[in-house]
Amino acid sequence: GTPRAGTLAQPLPRQIRAPARAWRGGIRMKAMKAVIRSLTPSPKKKRGSQSSDSELVGSEGTPKYDLLIYGASGFTGRLCAEYVAARYADKVARFTWAVAGRSSSKLEEVIDGLACKNLPEIVLADSKDFASVHAMCKSTFVVLNCAGPFERFGTPVVEACAAIGTNYCDINGELHWVKEMEGRYGSIAAKTGALIIPMCGFDSVPSDIGTFMVVLHMAEAMQQECASVKAFHHDMRGMVSGGTMSTMMGICNRPVRELAALAPTITDLYALNPAGGWRGGDTELWSESHIPWFDLDMMMLTAPLVLTIVNSRVVRRSAGVLSYGANFRYSEVYAAEWHPLDLAMGLAFWLMPLVVMAAGFIPPLRWFLNRFVLPAPGQGPSRQVRENGRFKLTLVGRTAGPPAGKEGGAAMVVGTIEGKQDPGYGETAKMSVECAMAIVVQKHQLPGRDGGFHTPATGIGRALIERLRAAGMTLRVDEA
């Protein structure tokens, strides 16, 4: 239970442990800005407290590795390793890293394909062997877990990281599993100082950090709370990952009794918020974000997204912790431009969850999808397809009142996040590694530095905005 270097073995800050108290009598802007402002760095130099990405300072008793990628022989795990090799391995002084998994031969193949001099070491670990997982987690400052389905393989990794005090990120999108993990290990991670940030890929960084960016602009530039954010995915090109589809099919393949047990989590709009804590203005499970619609802000047809089930819960968790607004509302849809391909994608996004759910109850349909349609876990698109992919997320936010010094009603701002690769693979690798490297390089400067379970916004915050911009993504806010 000894915390790793760069952690503080303290409980969660008061405003995170009991966000409900902050809402009594309304939110004070100073309190909100204080929470979302990046905290001042610790003066002591150690891992997680560097002034720049080119500087890493070790200390006695620190783990052997700065970063370890678990599941590196999988498709997305390999992309993460390639991204680290290209961006950080030879450019960060004294940077040490490893790739981990069950097969040394597969991990050697990954290393053979890396274009860097500072190659990672190999660590063997199997989720069925807790001793090997514990030793793996103890050897590193940050684990980036890419081995899914996470409900099946990820629990021992979270358990070990929480107990040891090792920091953790992953690329999962399994809402029910994240809720279970926090319930089981959240208080332990808070005590050991382990910073646990699930969902660091396309689920749910753009939605979460994009909304945070909009709210931050309103607080700092307009001195206003945020009333609502509507997120629109559009101009999207890419493939759904095999792991994501395997997770969806796995849920649908459960016995009816198990599906019934998951229903309260899936249908709870605030599933990741503490029980008895903040509840904002979103009260309707079924709304225009769950049916085909025409949005007057975007002047586009919209369709529901299965991603919304996960992303919206992550955003609302951030909203409660960071006090976005007393009645803050959030919705997320796919917006189809007036182009046949976009309209077809909108229809596909709407039908996909319905078809997958139907497959859970119709074995021949399930067999057909698995055999001929869905990519298998570990498989993915070619490099050309990934590099030709892209995504754009537009976030339309409205203030709770007029900006400071102005008269009239609520103001509107528009946030934009754009990625230039396939969102489910290339951009997911980028976002998850940048989350992990933010902890490696600057944990003591992060709002989640004390540990516990966090979202990307509550755990990393504005540092992630800066890192993603530096990595080539577009993140901006414009006042309408």
Which residue has tokens 């609302």? 316
pLDDT value for 283: 85
pLDDT higher than 80, residue 289: no
- Numbered ranges of CATH 3.40.50.720 in the chain: 14-200+428-469
Q: Which CATH class is domain 205-425+472-479?
A: alpha beta
Q: In terms of DSSP bridges, do strands 121-124 and 140-145 run parallel, antiparallel, or are they unpaired?
A: unpaired
Give the tens place of pLDDT for each residue, 168-199: 999 999 999 999 999 999 999 999 999 999 99
Q: Centre a 10 Å sphere on the Cβ of residue 57 and count the other Cβ atoms it contains.
A: 16
pLDDT higher than 70, residue 98: yes
Compare 387 and 196 and report the one with higher pLDDT.
196
Q: Report which DSSP code applies to 53.
A: T
Sign of CA dihedral 424, 389, 144, 333: negative
Per CATH, which fold does 14-200+428-469 belong to?
Answer: Rossmann fold (3.40.50)
Q: Are 160 and 152 in contact (CB under 8 A)?
A: no
Closest CA to 455 of 230, 210, 283: 210
Question: What is the identity of the amino acid at 142?
Answer: V
Q: Are 313 and 356 in contact (CB under 8 A)?
A: no
pLDDT value for 217: 97
- Numbered ranges of CATH 3.30.360 in the chain: 205-425+472-479
pLDDT higher than 70, residue 365: yes
- pLDDT band (50, 70, 90) for residue 209: very high
Mean per-residue pLDDT, 228-246: 79
Contacts of 354 (CB under 8 A, 6+ apart): none
pLDDT higher than 60, residue 36: no
- pLDDT band (50, 70, 90) for residue 206: very high
Closest CA to 433 of 73, 169, 238: 169
Across the chain, mean pLDDT equals 84
pLDDT higher than 90, residue 429: yes
What element of type H or E holds 415? strand 412-419
Q: Report which DSSP code applies to 348.
A: H
Closest CA to 452 of 151, 124, 66, 185: 185
pLDDT higher than 50, residue 1: no
Cα-based distances in Å from 5 to 121, 140, 444? 21, 10, 11
pLDDT value for 480: 81
Q: Centre a 10 Å sphere on the Cβ of residue 352 and count the other Cβ atoms it contains.
A: 16
Q: Are 168 and 197 in contact (CB under 8 A)?
A: yes
- pLDDT band (50, 70, 90) for residue 51: low
The Cα–Cα gap between 129 and 132 comes to: 6
Mean per-residue pLDDT, 448-470: 98
Give the tens place of pLDDT for each residue, 248-285: 666 666 777 777 788 888 889 999 999 889 999 998 77
- pLDDT band (50, 70, 90) for residue 363: confident
pLDDT value for 145: 99
pLDDT higher than 70, residue 242: no
Edge-to-edge, what's the strand order for the sheet holding 97-101?
Answer: 121-124, 97-101, 65-70, 140-145, 167-170, 195-197, 452-453
pLDDT higher than 70, residue 9: no
pLDDT value for 133: 99
pLDDT higher than 70, residue 399: yes
pLDDT value for 23: 35
pLDDT higher than 70, residue 342: no
pLDDT higher than 60, residue 411: yes
Up-side HSE of residue 463: CA atoms within 13 Å toward CB?
30
Sign of CA dihedral 12, 13, 16, 22: positive
Mean per-residue pLDDT, 162-167: 98
Q: Are 445 and 467 in contact (CB under 8 A)?
A: no
Question: What is the identity of the amino acid at 464?
Answer: L
Share of the chain above pLDDT 90, in %: 59
pLDDT value for 350: 66
Strand spans (E) along 152-262: 167-170, 195-197, 226-237
For the chain, the straight-line distance linking the first and the last C-alpha, in angstroms and rounded, comes to 50
- pLDDT band (50, 70, 90) for residue 50: low
Give the tens place of pLDDT for each residue, 462-475: 999 999 999 999 99
pLDDT value for 241: 62
Q: Are 179 and 265 in contact (CB under 8 A)?
A: yes
- Crossing angle of helices 75-84 and 426-442, in 10° steps, is 50
- pLDDT band (50, 70, 90) for residue 408: confident
Contacts of 105 (CB under 8 A, 6+ apart): none
pLDDT value for 359: 72
The Cα–Cα gap between 208 and 169 comes to: 15
pLDDT value for 339: 67
Provide the residue count of the chain: 480
